[in-house]
Amino acid sequence: MPKLKTHKGLKKRIKISAKGKVKRPKAGKSHLMSGKSGRRREHLRKKAGVAPAFNKIMTRALRGS
């Protein structure tokens, strides 16, 4: 059986925490920021978690590394 390859696009977009949780950046902060309130922009800076069902799928896609 050949070696598993890491999903490079996913590797660049997510980080796995020490406890194994998948953290991802929030969407909607690349442009048009002037129309968003300061509070909303502040919340967009934080990382978001991933649903537990996707957690397993994403860690499996990164397993090759």
Q: Is residue 12 part of a domain?
A: yes
pLDDT tens-digit readout, 9-52: 999 999 988 888 899 999 999 999 999 999 999 999 999 999 98
Q: Is residue 30 part of a domain?
A: no
pLDDT at residue 33 in the model = 92
CA distances from 6 to 15, 23, 36, 39, 56 (A): 14, 17, 36, 36, 14
Beta strand 47-49 with 15-16 is unpaired
pLDDT at residue 63 in the model = 82
Q: Is residue 6 part of a domain?
A: yes
Counting the structural domains of the chain, the total is: 1
Q: Is residue 14 part of a domain?
A: yes
Q: Is residue 48 part of a domain?
A: yes
pTM score of the predicted model: 0.72
> In which domain, by residue range, is 56 found?
1-25+43-65
Q: Is residue 35 part of a domain?
A: no
Q: Is residue 33 part of a domain?
A: no
Q: Is residue 49 part of a domain?
A: yes
